[in-house]
Chains A and B, each alone.
Chain A
């Protein structure tokens, strides 16, 4: 069956009722997508199907036919990944791939409520969520042309100016 996986057109043989999660992990070798609960509660297996977050444990492979599937391995948003590290948004790390994908699907210009709603389908048992929210907000704030709001980034800037 043909579909687009992380921007590449691929053809994968698997049963149409196999879980997309299992196809990604076992047939495609992409083990970044995790299985938490296996019943759509935890969001650890979140991938994007045609740009929208879904639980890969509840998607039959047939529904990926001709679609764009994006997994954490294809996530190009380095700011988002770095912000999770900087802010302590990842602790045990099991929810992190799903969190990253759900965050990547947030609409532009989300507010606090939009952020919480956007990540509502992802459970984390370590962070208490505030570090994750902070990380996502930070990654978006840095994109703005204005000065970064995060203080930690400030010391680096004068150094760069001097060398320039």
Chain B
């Protein structure tokens, strides 16, 4: 790959305030962090000429901590490696730790960030179903201030988000979750594969299901969730699931295979998270 470096400029702010100011003055700046998506896009012919904003050095956006009311605050620059290792994530959001282990290989996990995964907005992004099932809140910041958005409302279409051009994703907040968390990624091989289907789910009185790679963006399945909550037969839940997903044929898989896998994953999620002692809930 030969980048048109003479037509490319990198701005390297020293602080978050400076970064937000720069972006406010010039909203066409392209933010970059771990570059595991940005540099791949450039390789695939996305026009590379332009001005870039380097977020990688902004330590304010790193780290996992407990916030108000016990909520988990995940900095946008948390890498997959950090998320796997974080004791807070492993304890309170184990489905995110599971997802982090399945992204690429160690080289990508050391650089790729949760904020970048969300900002890139690929329907196959492995972190997205987790945030959707966890009903996370996205914290957006600009020179004008901060605002909080429900993650489930963040995407407005294929790779389209509610982020305004002068905003950066600062963090994700997740309130304490009841119930058992479950995550499964189905790809061509165990590592280094982009998802054919990816699912995150929570087994609680109000079950939550989120699926990636089966629609223009990450999907929650409210009808299927309601049927599970009402202890409907699995076949009925699977039928509703099939109504709620919209997979396509593409380079990674076919719509038919994705449909088959989704039904199988739903069954597996429900049986694997079944409360012990009681009989099978079918």
Contacts and interface: CB of A to CB of B under 8 A. Distances in A.
On whether the two chains bind one another, the answer is yes
B105 A43 contact: yes
B5 interface: yes
A60 B111 contact: no
B36 interface: yes
B110 interface: yes
Given A40-B40, A58-B40, A123-B192, A18 B3 contact: yes
Contact of B107 (A15, A17, A18, A54): A54
A122 B192 CA distance: 9
Given A16-B10, A18-B5, A62-B12, A120 B106 contact: yes
Interface residues of B, number: 29
Nearest to B33: A63
Interface string A132-143: 000000000000
Interface string B1-23: 10101001010100000000000
A70 B120 CA distance: 29
Interface residues of A, number: 31
A116 to B, nearest CB: 8
Contacts of B44: 39
Given A39-B44, A60-B54, 19 more contacts: A17-B5, A17-B8, A17-B52, A40-B39, A40-B104, A53-B110, A55-B107, A58-B35, A58-B108, A60-B39, A62-B12, A62-B56, A102-B106, A102-B107, A120-B106, A120-B191, A121-B104, A121-B105, A122-B105
Interface of B: 1, 3, 5, 8, 10, 12, 32, 34-36, 39-40, 43-44, 52, 54, 56, 81, 101, 104-108, 110-111, 190-192
